[in-house]
Structure 1
Amino acid sequence: MRNQQFADSPLTLRRFSQVIAFALAALVYWAWFVRPEVATKADDAISTYVIAGVLVAAIFGLVFLALRFGASGVTTYWLGASGSDQVQPVATLIAATLAILLTVGAIQFSLGNLDSNTATAASLLVWALVPAAFLQFGLVKWPSRQRTASTLTLILFAAPVAILMAAFSYNSFLKADGQMPMPAIGPLIVIIATVVVAAAAEEVVFRVLFLTALLERTASRFQAVFLSSVLFAAMHAPLFLFQPVIQGDWQLLALVAGNYASEFAMHVLVGLVFGVVWLRTGSIALISILHAIVNIGPALSGYF
């Protein structure tokens, strides 16, 4: 059910969604066309910026139209815990998980043993243990399954989305510097297992728990998918910005932030796809596998 106190406040979730959408469009516009590294030096810069603004607006319009269509429907596979608003508890879970992960990273950095392997191990443990603790102690309630999607529905959504995620993953793999040899079978199994477990943990938090809670709060499939996707992307941002912040290198931070802006938008887009698949199928296994597919490329290329 919609939270009445929040719904009656000046900043409704719908208005909040609109503000976030405009902010996201402005971020993309800045990252692609305005920041110094990419700003045009041509004499007709003003007209170029105007055209760029129209282009960004058109892209966002198409994305939101696609989301409106993808999130439409009334079939409900999962319902939030009866009689309780779970948005705040799940948001607290996410904040606690991120805070613990950053604290662990800071400790590893101070000890001089922060690298990709230790960071991955810490991330895996924290994202598995903290949500489990919240669920175990009743701080967050698990939603209830109402029905199961048919095999045909699963296939219709799994096939095209798996191809799309595989394309994203392969593109990330190609971005790696140099030609990295494929790991031996043992390390490869460990990498794949790590990616699958990490993907499943994130999907449980952001789709099973948070998106379902938002759907109960807003009664809007569109808003639930959009807001959960933005938070999903925002959760990754501190991990990308962590190293320059802890090193106190503010010039590097500005450069990394500018480069990460487009990556942030891509995380939102991927989150939208996962959210739509979750609403349409209610399959934890499917969204976890799709998430693992999109992560396997970066994992093999050496950066998570």
Structure 2
Amino acid sequence: MRTPIALAIACIATVLTVDAAPSTCTKSYKVISGDNCYTIGEKFNSSAPKLISLNPSINSKCTNLKVGQVICLSKSATSTKKTTIKSKTTKKTTKKTTKKTTTKKTTTKKTTTKKATTTKKTITKPSTTTSTKATSTKTTSTKTAGATPTLNYTKGLVAAVNSKSDFCMFLPSSPGGKDLNNGKVDDEAISKSEKSANAFCLKANKNAPGARLFPKNFIESAHFYRNSTAGYVQVTGKFNPATYSLSIKDGGGQYDNHGKGSPPLSMCFGYKYFVNLVEPDKPDYCMRCCDSYEDCHAGRSTYGCGRVVSNGNYN
């Protein structure tokens, strides 16, 4: 036969186990056409990573949203309050049985409550990790690894690649790099703007807030490719340097988000890495966004688009 102490502890464990269930959703939203995690987060003063953490059904890139899908915007910790109330009731019942077990019961209650709190924090902690190891932003042929960036997006520094008619990449902040060359066209505008470039898109893109539009007739050809197995997308082709006052003597340069980024804080929406080369002297461009560093290797900039994105179409 169980002693009064054993019965009391069993009751407490039962109540706390029941109330440690996940918090319920207190605010939800039905997905409409054109929505994505970034725009939904912006609309409700939240963020894409938070929405993904609150909704296990959404994948890490937020590419599987469906029109009519109901997603959770916030959850409450009501289960913790319930635990406190029920624990107090059990404590009172046990006191009637014996006074000598008061200290043990109080200790058991506090220990269980702390464990429940720790579990809750683990569930809501963002899954994105950040490497604190600093890496050089200079791209050379000897570079073998890159820091893992977080999926944080800064206005004007977010590119995106969705199709051949809907993509973004980086360019100098002014035509011909004049703002960094005393108002004159710079024959090295691309390489000299690697720390100050801005995102440019073919058309307004919700995933690239603050991006500017390419000059009219800047893009002459675009070839889109997606590798679902490796987890990368790319767009390659020809452009017209004259529409943005870029010199045909300019051998080009590379933008990427390895290390501190070129430009710093730059990202490609939905992907951990990107590499983007612009070469006015050819004139070729290539933009690839990847899940893996090896598919967006930053240590080959001196070889140009033909080596960095070797399967690209540059006609």
TM bin, normalised by shorter chain, reads under 0.3
What is the TM-score with the length of structure 2 in the denominator? Answer: 0.20
* Structure with greater Cα Rg: 2
Higher share of residues assigned helix: 1
**More RCO (CA 8 Å, sep 6+):** 1
